[in-house]
Amino acid sequence: MAEFKLPDVGEGLTEAEIVTWKVKEGDTVAINDIVVEIETAKSLVELPSPYAGVVQRLMVPEGETIPVGTPIIAIGDALDAPLDTLPSEPGEPGEPSEPSEPGDGPAPSPEIDLSNPAASGGGEGESLVGRNKADRSAVRRARHAAVPASAGGAAAQLQLQGSFEPGLASPDVADEADEPAVPATTAPAAVAVVRTLAKPPVRKLAKDLGVDLSTLTGTGPHGTVTRDDVQSAGTSAAPGDSTADSARPAPAGERETREPIKGVRKMMGQAMVGSAFSIPHVTEWVTIDATRTMELVERLKARREFRDVKVSPLLVLARAIMLAMRRTPEINSWWDDEASEVVYKHYVNLGIAAATPRGLVVPNVKNAEQLPLLELAGALNELTATAREGRTQPAEMAGGTFTITNVGVFGVDSGTPIINPGESAILCIGAIKPQPWVVDGEIVVRQVTTLALSFDHRHIDGEKGSRFLADVAGILEDPASALLF
């Protein structure tokens, strides 16, 4: 029997919460099958199994926070530990597993397939964050030859390390019918199980909203249930928000409800407090006529090259920011207090603040200054879609140099944003809406918005901050002026 211990999924995280088990005791799992969803201090992460066999014990209950290195699941051979002799309740973290009867066979060696997942046609060598097979019957599939025990530990570590390389996000997940399985000698014949097609984040949303997926008719590809399907059957999303409303109904008769501060929300709170009280913030505002930007957005939408990407004013704002940085590079720098140095970044990792039910996340587009407008649009689309589905990984939030926060989607005019730790400035854009505006001495209706820039006043003085904000505003007012940069 092999115990899978909670790994460090990146950046020195020390603990995580068990959110949802994707398997149950008695299930048969293959290498790379998703067995559990955990929440770290930065994001939700799905863990693939490094072993193949039968789930013997779930060693940590859902909702419990445990340190890295704690055994969380035991996987073995059905012949070595009959299912009816396994304990019915999960053991305590770190509790050793004992054989059900004296004289049981030796523990199975971990089966590790290090073949190229992209080159394989599916099966056990597939994607590191592969399919969810939690509802199988208790059957065994034909197994590969076991890897020698001496190589198993190192191979398993390599397999897990590969799962969390920087920038690797979980691919879209859809359930498929199991390949032919061989029934165990003591198990009944396999019973066909019909499952509703839905991605793991959609399943989690349905669980949070109390929606039974089996009652829904999917509108996605191949009948897949989408977030919109779940939200229309349960709680609707907040206006302009990309995530479901995280508010919980008040229990009958109770005047207060307490919710633990943990995971992403806890880290976000600590980061914002640290930033607010360690960086001298200055915020400047400017209200502009963005009519020409809106006209440019409509022209871009009509172009053949942009037909497969979403084009919004955020795209024009992102490009304007990177152009304006050429004249004010201090905006894309960082005050290193320990080294008593200002670090100038010659690249732009452009962060987009996104509110989710689990807290604020700020994924960033790497090397955004190198991307043509079409590729930048695609990168922004992918970034926001990943955040919306709750699949943003820690590596995608690391290394940001400048952040945009868009409160306009909520109908808000603007705000005083707090600088993301490790950066020196953040720009907030408010709602773009028709308002009276003076043009050539006459009052006309124009598309008006407000920009707010917060910056670190230790090394960005008022002149530099004002010039940068004015440059961004100028491009949004007249996109053709970008040719001057």
Per residue in 79-108, pLDDT (tens digit) is: 554 444 434 444 444 444 444 444 444 444
Query: Nearest 10 degrees: CA dihedral of 287, 435, 433, 452?
Result: 10
How far out from the chain centre does Cα 387 lie?
Answer: 5
Domains of the chain from N-terminus onward: 2-166 (2.40.50.100), 264-484 (3.30.559.10)
| Higher per-residue pLDDT: 431 or 107 | 431
pLDDT at 130 over 60: no
Mean pLDDT of 128-135: 38
Residue 277's Cβ-side half-sphere holds a number of Cα atoms within 13 Å equal to: 6
pLDDT at 429 over 60: yes
Q: What's the pLDDT score for residue 90? A: 44
How far out from the chain centre does Cα 355 lie?
Answer: 11
Query: Minimum mean pLDDT among 240-244, 334-338, 478-482: which range?
Result: 240-244
Contact predicate 60/35, CB 8 Å: no
Q: Are strands 350-352 and 402-406 parallel, antiparallel or unpaired?
A: parallel
Q: What's the pLDDT score for residue 43? A: 74
Q: What's the pLDDT score for residue 91? A: 44
Q: pTM, whole model, 2 decimals?
A: 0.58
Q: Which residues pair with 18 in a beta bridge?
A: 38
Query: Minimum mean pLDDT among 37-41, 57-61, 152-156, 381-385: which range?
Result: 152-156
The two structure tokens encoding residue 320: 């304007």
Residues 6+ positions from 338 with CB-CB distance below 8 Å: none
| Higher per-residue pLDDT: 408 or 390 | 408
Q: What's the pLDDT score for residue 457? A: 96
Mean pLDDT of 211-237: 72
Q: What's the pLDDT score for residue 379? A: 95
What is the Cα–Cα distance from 100 to 173, expressed in whole angstroms?
Answer: 36
**How confident is residue 229, by pLDDT bands cut at 50, 70 and 90?**
confident
| Catalytic residue check, 457 | yes
| Higher per-residue pLDDT: 216 or 235 | 216
Per-range mean pLDDT, top range of 35-44, 132-141, 243-252? 35-44
| Higher per-residue pLDDT: 337 or 159 | 337
pLDDT at 144 over 60: no
DSSP-assigned states of every residue in 86-102: S-SSPPPTTPPP--SST
CA angle 197, 201, 204 (to 5 degrees): 90
Sign of CA dihedral 345, 348, 354, 358: negative
Place of tokens 């994607």: 127
What is the Cα–Cα distance from 312 to 429, expressed in whole angstroms?
Answer: 13
pLDDT at 160 over 70: no
- Range 273-311 burial, b when 16+ CB lie within 10 A, else e: eebeeebebbbeebebbbbbbbebbeebeeeeebeebeb
Cα distances from 107 to residues 104, 281, 408, 424, in angstroms, run 9, 59, 58, 54
What is the Cα–Cα distance from 321 to 328, expressed in whole angstroms?
Answer: 10
What is the Cα–Cα distance from 58 to 73, expressed in whole angstroms?
Answer: 5
User: How large is the C-alpha radius of gyration of the chain?
Assistant: 26
| Higher per-residue pLDDT: 208 or 113 | 208
Average pLDDT score, the chain: 76
**How confident is residue 134, by pLDDT bands cut at 50, 70 and 90?**
very low
Q: What's the pLDDT score for residue 298? A: 96
Q: What's the pLDDT score for residue 432? A: 97
Q: Which of 162, 76, 157 is nearest to 127 (CA)?
A: 162
What is the Cα–Cα distance from 3 to 76, expressed in whole angstroms?
Answer: 9
Q: What's the pLDDT score for residue 80? A: 54
Sheet holding 44-48, edge to edge: 44-48, 34-39, 15-21, 65-67
Per residue in 12-62, pLDDT (tens digit) is: 678 888 989 999 998 999 998 999 988 877 677 889 999 999 999 999 998
Place of tokens 């839905």: 198
The two structure tokens encoding residue 117: 């997942």
Q: What's the pLDDT score for residue 176? A: 35
| Higher per-residue pLDDT: 297 or 14 | 297
Sign of CA dihedral 236, 240, 241, 245: negative
User: 10 Å Cβ neighbour count for 212?
Assistant: 11
What is the Cα–Cα distance from 49 to 128, expressed in whole angstroms?
Answer: 9
Per-range mean pLDDT, top range of 23-27, 144-148, 206-210, 466-470? 466-470
Residues 6+ positions from 346 with CB-CB distance below 8 Å: none
- 144, 222, 346, 457: which is the annotated catalytic residue? 457
